[in-house]
Structure 1
Amino acid sequence: MTTNPTSPNGAAVKDKPDTTEPIVELQGAGKAYGNVRALHGVDLAVYPSQVTCVLGDNGAGKSTLIKIISGLHQHTEGAFLIDGQAVQLSNPREALDKGIATVYQDLATVPLMPVWRNFFLGSEMTKGPWPVRRLDIARMKATADQELRHMGIILDDLDQPIGTLSGGQRQSVAIARAVYFGARVLILDEPTAALGVKQSGVVLKYIAAARDRGLGVIFITHNPHHAYMVGDHFSVLRLGTMELSAARADVSLEELTNHMAGGAELAALKHELAQVRGVDVEELPEAEDLKTPTTTAASTSTSAEGKS
């Protein structure tokens, strides 16, 4: 098995498939806004048929990462590669042309418009000669229904306003729309953040369905439990740098949760918390219990390189 080198910040990425090249890859990428460094030394690879989960607390750099990959902002350091070629995207249209689609939390839908109209919003099918071309409503309805069913989404009435659907259903329609319009990489920005348990389960189901259709999925979330349900690779951002980058086989849910929750800081403050009356610190981790899986991954990578 081929292994990737250790990243500049010490996180080793070792789950690169032998037979598949990444669709999108960041190599030591970073972004600075004047004197503010929002992102630094980030390595990330997105493969077909794989869910890459990017986790982090508020201010960790998740939004900046999304903006770089989706073409909203340009990186100021490192390299951004698509299909192995270095690129510098200048706008989201260029990203879409290369098969990178982003589904934001607001979903970019019009609540009072029907489901089928939202499915083709901005890319409507038309018929008839110019200059009297008109919307091909029948074909758009049939296509929307077919594509939604391919994703396992069955709606009784495509004429109902999309605002009447549940949050999970609206997310699912947005995912199906991105797949239909040729997305190869699907970026999902906190799709389960405002949803209940059942609706979150619906969205996770369609994330897995998108992966099964061969897409590379970037799942941005702050919920390690949701990430662990569908993720193949996990990257944890902290203060703009990559704190953890590990394959599913190399990290447990408990370890992922500790990294996400700042377990190292909690361990360092354990002795101080013990002075606070009424605070039970027995279940808090010790500093030595929080060794990152990337340390093991790095040593494995070095060992494998030595044998090759």
Structure 2
Amino acid sequence: MPIGLPQPGLGEILIDGQPVRFASPLEARRSGIETVYQDLALADQLTVWQNVFLNRELTWGPKGIGILRRAEMRRRSQDLVQRLAVNVPSATRTVKRLSGGQRQAIAIARAVMWSRQFVIMDEPTAALGLRETAQVEDLIRRIVDEGTSVLIISHNFEQVMRLAQQVWVMRAGEVVNGERVSDISGVELVAQVTGAAGMPPSTEALTAGPADREAN
């Protein structure tokens, strides 16, 4: 669910150490927080570049006219997919003609382009096969290496262990633990999620720095 749609009843959200409260998902986007949804939120009938700039179209001309700068949007989208090594033939390709992995890569690339703080990914490989999952995971590693912070929401514990540096465990809507992935095993992670480990609620999960890349 997008940040800003549900309103928090307790606690606070900090960005660069400053408390923020979003009245809508649009406000969260304006603060540089991007989301890759499980359903991708792509328009199948539009091209790659049109999806990248959807609702953020570049225009020129007198105020109120807004003539589209199509060539620039196509160029910037093509540069984006090439920089991230996204396996897409062309930014002019219609999204409906792409594979599931290519669509996922476009949704991630779009988020990276507009993010200034971090990217939230909801089950980024849930509907993909093994090969496409590996390709998307490689893309996630590349954008993290470039300096983008990523928070992954996933029930794939093996993927969490492969990708995450910090993990927060939630059970029944509560954060029950937070640890560096290097300090926890996959078996322990499953036990904490299922409640078999009997972990008490921990405040450590709420004190990670903004530079951490996480998964829960």
TM-score strictly above 0.5:
yes
> Deviation of residue 164 (structure 1)?
1.6
1:124 is paired with a residue whose SS is coil
Instruction: Please name the residue that 2:52 is paired with.
Output: 119
> Deviation of residue 221 (structure 1)?
0.6
Which structure has the larger Rg?
A: 1
Task: State how far apart, in whole Å, the 2-side matches of 1:212 and 1:149 are.
Answer: 16
Task: State how far apart, in whole Å, the 2-side matches of 1:133 and 1:98 are.
Answer: 24
- C-alpha contact (below 8 Å) 1:244/1:294 kept by paired residues: yes
Identity %: 36
Q: Structure 1 length as normaliser, TM-score?
A: 0.61
- C-alpha contact (below 8 Å) 1:245/1:294 kept by paired residues: no
> Deviation of residue 218 (structure 1)?
0.7
Instruction: Please name the residue that 1:192 is paired with.
Output: 125
Question: Which amino acid in the other structure matches residue 134 of structure 2?
Answer: G
Instruction: Please name the residue that 1:86 is paired with.
Output: 19
Deviations along 1:56-101, one digit per CA (max 9) or x if unpaired, are xxxxxxxxxx54xx21122111222111112221111211121111
- C-alpha contact (below 8 Å) 2:192/2:198 kept by paired residues: no
> Deviation of residue 144 (structure 1)?
0.2
Instruction: Please name the residue that 2:152 is paired with.
Output: 219
Instruction: Please name the residue that 2:208 is paired with.
Output: none
Structure 2 unmatched runs, 5+: 205-216
Task: Report the RMSD for the aligned CA atoms in angstroms.
Answer: 2.3
> Compared with structure 1, are the counterparts of its residues 150 and 238 closer, same or farther at alpha carbon in structure 2 (3 Å cutoff)?
same
Instruction: Please name the residue that 2:136 is paired with.
Output: 203
> Deviation of residue 159 (structure 1)?
2.1
> Compared with structure 1, are the counterparts of its residues 130 and 78 closer, same or farther at alpha carbon in structure 2 (3 Å cutoff)?
closer
Task: State how far apart, in whole Å, the 2-side matches of 1:143 and 1:87 are.
Answer: 31
> Deviation of residue 259 (structure 1)?
2.7
Structure scoring higher RCO (CA < 8 A, sep ≥ 6) equals: 1
What is the aligned residue count? Answer: 204
> Compared with structure 1, are the counterparts of its residues 291 and 182 closer, same or farther at alpha carbon in structure 2 (3 Å cutoff)?
closer
Q: Which residue among 5, 22, 28 is the counterpart of 1:95?
A: 28
Q: Output aligned runs, 1:28-43, within 5 Å.
A: none
Instruction: Please name the residue that 1:148 is paired with.
Output: 81
Structure 1 unmatched runs, 5+: 1-65, 265-289, 298-308
Question: Is 1:138 the equivalent of 2:71?
Answer: yes
- C-alpha contact (below 8 Å) 2:88/2:102 kept by paired residues: no
